[in-house]
Structure formats: structure tokens, C-alpha cells
Structure 1
Amino acid sequence: MGWDVLRKAEWLGAERARGYLVLLALVNAATLAFLLLTSTNGIDRNGFLIGTDFISFWTSGRMLVAGANVYDTLAHVAAQREFYTLPGEYTAFFYPPSFLPFVWPLGFLPYFPALAAWLTLTGGAFLAAVRAWFAALGLKGPALVLIAAFPPVIVTLTHGQTSFLVAALLGGGLLLVRERPWLAGVLIGLATIKPQLGLLVPVALLASGQWRTIAGAGGAALGLAGLAILIFGPQVWADWLAITQTASSATDSGTIGFAKMVSLFAGLRLIGVPSGFAMALQVGVTIAVPATVAAACWRRSFTPGMGALVLAGAPLATPFVLDYDMVLTAFPLAYLFARGRAEGFADWERITIAATFAAVAFARPLAINAGVPIMPLLLTLLFLLVWRRVRGEIAA
């Protein structure tokens, strides 16, 4: 009986779920308002600059405008500290040169107008992608309330991160594969600004034979890389390759903070598993997830379910993924909910949807204060449940 409470989760009906969503939205809005109202001159009550991580992108934009090398770490540190200094804090910049055309315009604006413009444009793109998925899945729910309630959204807002942009490009691209393959490819190609989150995309496209989308993605990715060379010079790629080892070391050593990360590797390291063994297990998952996606997509017409499977697996396939990247899960969560509402919820679906939706609100505090990593388990459950639904589509 006890397990049935979770397995069936029949108590989580529409009215109760709606109430939880409104409560989460109010908590998120109050948190954001408190952060802003208790800040002084753009510095929050804990001494952090509003937007935290965004200073890395804005600094990079300023350096590009000035003709400086954004991959010169010492110069990047100095440029950040010209604007704001918090002892012991530095936000590194490891993004590939493909991302530079996106941050370059930020350098022409003061910090806070640039932050506002960045979040407005990328947030608007993410909202548009979510609404497109809702329309494709036949959902008519309150998209704005859902977005306001979704914890990864407030984490992205407060960090000034790239997550809205990457989620919009990948989510929008994968939704359009069947109807507008060339445009889908362009969006997916632009998403190579954060390549670790797109590892499963070529697997799914190749397995399902989406050649026009593949061509569009390749052209867009090469075009973006060429644009970076054209504007900033060919040396920029060599400079980026030179610091990739530093990025790898930062992931392995926990410099970024295992509690902020949601991958299997980070979860294992958080509970004390040695680095080599943790990475070996991560590699096993990184092999198993693409194999599962390839089998599900093999020689079949591409569907939103396949796109949802790719996005559900994205955080599992890489060791370097953080809590704000969980905005990607909006799309597989919407897919799983739509299928459950239309056909009846299967075992574990209701509770997994609810837990994964809300988890980012608790994941980092639990990891920091109790050393308990909950995200790898929830992400695995989400992936398996989406996979089960996609298999059902295939059988039908």
C-alpha cells in the first residue's frame, strides 16, 4: 500500500497539481523580488553581483570589443575585477568560439542593461519553444504559470546563464525535424555553443535518417564557427583548445562544485566515490544512453517523443551539467504529461513528473548540506519513462 502511494500517485490530481504550481510560482516570484529588493547597487545581501555567472559573458563581450583574448585567463580575471571583485570568486569562460558572436554585442552595453537584454531575449525564445511543444502535444495549460513555477527558470534568471538559449535551440530544433527539417538543422547547429548537451542529437538524427536536418545542422555549425574566425581571427580556436584541459580539470577536481552539478559523475564524487571509478561509471552511462536512443530511433520517422527522449537523456550523457541546465527537461516533462493525460498515467509517471519538475528547488541545498545527490536518480527515471512511452509509440 505504501509503495502504491508513490507508484500510482492518484492523489496528485489536476486540482492539487494546479495548487502546487501556483505555490511554486509565488515562491519563485517572492524569492526573485527579495533578491532584488535587498540588493544594494546591484550587489545582493550575500555580496554577489546580481546575475552572478553573467559577468563572465559580459566581460568576454567587453574584451572582444576591445580586441583582447577572452581565453587568456589572467586577462579575463583582470577584466572581471575591473567591474566587480569578490575575494576568492572568479567566473571562468570555457565556451567555444562559436559562442563569441552571441556575447560580442553584450560588450557594447553597460552590465545591467546587458543582463536585462540577455534574459529577456533568451527567456522569450525559451517560452516560445515551450509554447510550440504545448501546441504540438495538444496541451492547453497555463504555460506562463508553468514557466514561473519551474525551479530551473529562477536558477537561470539569478545566474544570468545560457540555459534559456540552449534549451530554446535544442527544444525548438528537435520539435521541427519532421515538419521543417532545414530550419530544425539550423537551430540545432546553433546549439553547438554548448556542445556537451547535444551529444545525443546526431545519434538520433543519424539513426532515423534525417539527412536534411543533419545537413542544416552541419552547415549552421560550420557557419557559426566560420563567423567567429571572420570576426575574431583563426587564432581564437587554438586559444580555446589550449584551455579545454583546464575546463576538464575543473570538472574532475570539483572546482565548480559537485553540489551544483547534476550528472552521475558529480553525484558519485559528492558521496566520496574515487574520481576514476566515478568516471568509469559515467562512461558506461554515456555509452548506454546513446545506444538506447539509437535503438528507439532506428529507421523510424522522427516524432516529438524521440525529441523528448533525446532531451531527457542529454543530462545523463555528460559529466558536465549543472542545475540551471535542467530547463531542458521542460520538453520531456511536457511530453510525458501529455501522453499520460491522453492515455492514462502509467506506474511512476505522476510522481516522477512532479519530483523532476520541482527537484532543482531542493537538489543543491540537499547536496550542499546533506551530501545527498537526488538529480541523477530522477533524471534516470525520467529518461526510462520517456523511453517506455516511445517504445509504446513504436509498438502501436
Structure 2
Amino acid sequence: MPVSHAPSQQKRHWLTPERVRLYAWASLAVTGITIGRLYYYAAIGIAVPGGYDFADFWSASWLALHGQAIQAYDYKTLLKVAVTISPELSVIGPWLYPPTYLLMIWPLALLPFPVSYLAFEIVAAAVLGLMLRRLLPMNAARWPIAAICCFLPNLLHGQNGTMTACLGLAALLLLGANRQVWAGVCIGLLSVKPQLAILFPIALLCGRMWTAFVSAAVTAAVFAGIAMWVVGPGAFAAFIHANGFARQSLVDGTFPWWQMTTLYATLRLLHVPVTAALVAHAAVAVAATAAMVWIWFRQPSYAIRAAALVTATLLISPYLYLYDAVWLAIPIAFVVQHALQHGWLRGEREMLLLAWMLPVGADSIARHYNVGLGPLVCIGVLVFLVIRTARTDAKIFGKKLAHS
């Protein structure tokens, strides 16, 4: 697969900075119009107000602030609090997060729901944007970063995908700066969403980052201990019980598959039996893990290793929603940073564009055409990272052979 170098050596690629900026403006316009329409319909009483999922967070926070944190795992109690936000919220999602997440969102209900909702999403988007700008400080990256940080599924529902992406990116930036203790703290805090933290310890072992590994383990353990002390000794038992419901809902479709971004959900949309879908998903998860491990052992570029870690992470769990796809901003930024210095692979820019555009209509396509784009995009990005590493490996081997 050829590598494209500087524009002076090559015909200018069709995906120019001007086109990228135009796409970013269009994405921001779609986001603004969609949210504006939702609030208009909510104001005239024919739609549920925004922040449907954030209602769970705010209600759990309210219970915690009133000394009833463990009651967040009781659906009826959680719903009683949620209906005080809006009578339209007659149905909400159950509380499926570990007790550690209750600690993280504890103060949310100190503010009125609308203010808390906006602050939660705006602060997370701003922090993620600032960190991405550390990787891509050039002016041409400003609008694309703004567009992906204003990630519609998160803003619309009030989800935490952007917040967890901040933790993941902070950990990777700190690892790159050899600040392993603080990187480990960020990874340990990711235990609030274990399916997104699962590959980080493996990567740390591959990279022989022992300090970060120990720091992450200690942080996760201390965090869990504090949660058990504050929330109550039955907190983790309640969490495990709640996740029994989650597993069953994943099987029977109570949780809509078209809203997910996993291979398992895509196969279930195509009416593939549960066992076959799980086996296929597990096979891809194992392959993604193997690819990530191989890249961490063979790839000298930290940017490519970081991109591989995040991309593979998004292929591991069968339970990931589209709002978690904001994590794709991380490999996109790392790969762009690397490619601007070392050249592009043919088709790589188009693949990253698809990843960047994933939230635009991906759920509608899955709902109406039974095609889940999330896993296909992640597999595509990971394939390009494997190709990059193979080419680098071949060059290193060639140089060693020449000097032998």
C-alpha cells in the first residue's frame, strides 16, 4: 500500500483542509438544528426534553446527596426522582453503573437539572477539545475538533461518552509525556466504565510501563473501597444484580441494538442467533486484542500505539452505545499527527473521514437498514494501523539487514 508524502511531491488529495472545514460546519449545523428542533418540540409538549440519559445521572446524584445512594439501583425509586425533572420522563433507563460512578457524579444534583445537564456536556466537550488541540494545534484542525467534540449522541441524551474519552485521552497524553503515576490515576478512574478500560492494563504490560500499571491498580482499588464505604456494603452486590438484567436485555433486544456500535449488535440486527453473534464478536475481540499487542511490541511510534489501543478497545465489549464512539476522536487525532510527519497510506484519509462522520446518521442507517457501521469503521481503522506497523517493521528489518 503506497504512502503519500508532502503535497509538493504529489498531486493534492481531494480531501483538502477546505473540504474538511466545510464538513465540520455541516456537522455542527446538523447538531444545532437537531437539538433546536428537540427543544422546540419539548416546549410545545410533543417530545421528551433533551438529556434523557442524563436524568439517570442527576436522579442518582439526588439520591446520593440525600443519603440514599444505594437506592439508585432500585428502578422505582430512581424513576420517582426522575419524574420530578419532567412528567414526560415516565420511563428511564435502569442504573447499571458501578458504585464508583456514583462518587463521580455525586454533586450533579446540586444544580438544577437543565444547568447541570448543560454544564456536564459543555465542560466535557471543552476539555476533550483542548486535549485534542495539544495533538493537532494547527488552525485547520480547529473546526473538525469542535464538530467531533459536539458529538450529537452525547449532547442529545446527556451521556458520558465525552467524559470517559477525556479520561482515556488524558491517560495517553500523560503516558506519552512519561508521567506514569498520573496516567495510571486516569486509567484507574476509567473503572467507572470497565469495558472501556479493559485493554489499558495489557498495553501497559506490553509497554513495560510498570509504574503506570501499579498506579492504575491502586487507584481502581482505592476508588472501589471508597465507593463501598460511602455508598454502602451492598453496593457492588446491587451492581452485579443490575448487570444480570443488562446481560439479558442485550440478548433479547430490550436495549435497542440499532443504538449500539458493536459487532454483536450488528449481527443481531441481521437476525443472527445469539450464540453465533457472540462467537463472531469474541473472535473479532480476540483478533483486535492480538493486533493491539503486536502493534505495541513492534511499532516504535507512540502515536500509532495509542491509536491502536483505543481502536481495539472499541471492538472488545458487546455492550457499547453510539455515544461511546466519540472515543474515535482519539485515534483520528493520533493518526493525523503521525501521518502529517510520515506520510499517508492510500485510502487512510477516507477511512478516518468515515470514523469522524460515524455519528451522522449511523443510528438511522442501523435502524432502517440493519447495518451497524461502528464495528466496520473500527475494524477498518485498526487494519490501517496494522499495515502501518507492518511497513515500519519491514523498514527496520531492511535496515538491520543492510548493516549486517
Give the distance between the partners of 2:141 and 2:16, measured in 1 at CA.
18
Superposed displacement of residue 221, structure 1: 1.1
1:59 matched residue in structure 2: 59
Give the distance between the partners of 2:95 and 2:274, measured in 1 at CA.
24
Give the distance between the partners of 1:230 and 1:124, measured in 2 at CA.
33
Give the distance between the partners of 1:308 and 1:156, measured in 2 at CA.
22
Superposed displacement of residue 161, structure 1: 0.7
1:316 matched residue in structure 2: 315
Partner amino acid, structure 1, of 2:264: F
Give the distance between the partners of 1:81 and 1:14, measured in 2 at CA.
46
SS state at 1:169 partner: helix
Deviations 1:332-357 (A, max 9, x none): 11222233333332122121111111
SS state at 1:99 partner: helix
Give the distance between the partners of 2:202 and 2:192, measured in 1 at CA.
18
SS state at 1:273 partner: coil
2:14 matched residue in structure 1: 11
CA contact (8 A) 2:310 2:327 kept: yes
2:162 matched residue in structure 1: 164
Q: Percent identity?
A: 26
CA contact (8 A) 1:190 1:220 kept: yes
Partner amino acid, structure 1, of 2:51: G
1:5 matched residue in structure 2: none
User: Where does 1:320-359 land on structure 2 (aligned, <5 Å)?
Assistant: 320-359=319-358
- Cα distance change of structure 1 residues 207 and 78 upon mapping to structure 2, 3 Å threshold: same
User: Where does 1:1-396 land on structure 2 (aligned, <5 Å)?
Assistant: 10-40=13-43, 46-68=46-68, 69-86=71-88, 89-134=91-136, 139-150=137-148, 153-179=151-177, 180-298=179-297, 303-394=302-393, 395-396=395-396
CA contact (8 A) 1:125 1:164 kept: no
Deviations 1:23-77 (A, max 9, x none): 222332333333334431xxx8652122110000011111112222211223223
**For structure 1, which runs of at least 5 residues remain unmatched after alignment?**
1-7
Give the distance between the partners of 2:132 and 2:149, measured in 1 at CA.
15
Give the distance between the partners of 2:342 and 2:249, measured in 1 at CA.
45
CA contact (8 A) 2:149 2:162 kept: no
Superposed displacement of residue 106, structure 1: 1.3
The TM-score, its normalising length taken from structure 1, stands at: 0.89
Superposed displacement of residue 186, structure 1: 0.6
The TM-score, its normalising length taken from structure 2, stands at: 0.88
Aligned length: 382
Q: Which moved more, 1:322-331 or 1:173-182?
A: 173-182
Partner amino acid, structure 2, of 1:93: W
Q: Which moved more, 1:78-87 or 1:349-358?
A: 78-87
CA contact (8 A) 1:171 1:331 kept: yes
- Cα distance change of structure 1 residues 300 and 387 upon mapping to structure 2, 3 Å threshold: closer
Q: Which moved more, 1:370-379 or 1:13-22?
A: 13-22
Give the distance between the partners of 2:151 and 2:317, measured in 1 at CA.
21
Give the distance between the partners of 2:173 and 2:383, measured in 1 at CA.
20
Superposed displacement of residue 217, structure 1: 0.8
**CA-atom RMSD in angstroms:** 2.3
